[in-house]
Amino acid sequence: MLAELQRQFADEILRGGVKAGIYSKTVLGALIGALEDSFEACRATVGAEFFGAMAGRYVRSTPSRSPSLDDYGDTFADFIADFEPAQQLPYLADLARLEWARHRCSTAADSQPMDPARLAEVPEALRDSLSFKLAPGLALVASDYPIDGIWELARNPSLPNVDLDDGGVSLLVHRNGATTLHVRLQPPEHQLIELLLEDVPFGGLCERLDEPSPAPALIARAIRLGWITGLA
């Protein structure tokens, strides 16, 4: 009895039915509010009205699947990519991907930097099979557009306009203490992080990373910057 009653009531809420009364408004409003919090730059870029309409469509088609409202919106960037009225803004989905990666990173587990000397302590014979642990929450976001500039502009509209023809970027999202950051990566760094995300061990990195940036130097830098936090 209870299950059926709750199922019907939830259906009514999510489709905005009259029997749900004001609950449709409060429930959908909370979901839209969560998107507004997590995708502030997208909202500032397209304006509150457009964002509200887009988020309104998303919340009707995408129920929350977690008791934590913070988890809501993981597919919003994909939704934006397919959202017809947003097609004039081809960078918007990537901007949303950047914001989502930052959002996730901001509450990822805390980590301590790794002592670079630990790498040298690993015996030569074991080194090739050595794997690296990346900082929790670290993510790569690549785009054909300068989305870091667009993100800055959304936060500070007095900045000069961004030229979309400036080309693409590869961004690394990570956290330094309490602060979530994103930085531009050069192609070899991007390639390194990509391989590390695939859990490729040291030997594989040495084989697959292109010259002139030898793997050991890149890895040492990644340890120094706190991207790599441990060995496995």
Looking at residue 227, the DSSP 8-state letter turns out to be S
Overall residue count recorded for the chain in this entry: 232
A 10 A CB-CB count for 10 gives: 14
Residue in 80, 119, 83, 110 with CA at minimum distance from that of residue 97: 80
Q: Measured from the CB of residue 8, what is the shortest distance to other proteins in angstroms?
A: 9
Tell the smallest beta-carbon distance from residue 14 to other proteins (Å): 7
Of positions 61, 68, 88, 156, contacts other proteins by CB under 8 A: 68
CB distance 76 to 184 below 8 Å: no
Structure tokens at 107: 């509450």
| 156-175 positions binding other proteins, by CB under 8 A | 175
State the nearest-atom distance from the C-beta of 58 to other proteins, in Å. Answer: 15
**Shortest Å distance, C-beta 97 to other proteins:** 20
CB of 191 to other proteins, least distance (A): 28
* Contacting residue, 18, 61, 65, 160, with other proteins by CB under 8 A: 65
Report CA-CA distances (Å) from 107 to 66, 69, 146. 16, 13, 25
Q: Name the residue nearer to other proteins (CB basis): 8 or 129.
A: 8
Q: What angle do CA 27, 33, 34 make, to 5 degrees?
A: 95
One symbol per residue from 109 to 148: x for binding other proteins (CB under 8 A), - otherwise; what is it? xxx------------------------xx-----------
The residues facing 182 across adjacent strands are: 173
Tell me if 176 contacts other proteins by CB under 8 A.
no
How far are the Cα atoms of 22, 40, 157, 172, 207 from residue 26, in angstroms, in the given order?
A: 6, 20, 31, 36, 55
Would you count residue 3 as binding other proteins (CB under 8 A)? yes
Among 64, 190, 220, 231, binds other proteins (CB under 8 A): 64
Binding-site ranges for other proteins (CB under 8 A): 1-3, 5-7, 9-10, 13-14, 21-23, 26-27, 30-31, 34, 63-70, 72, 106-111, 136-137, 175, 178
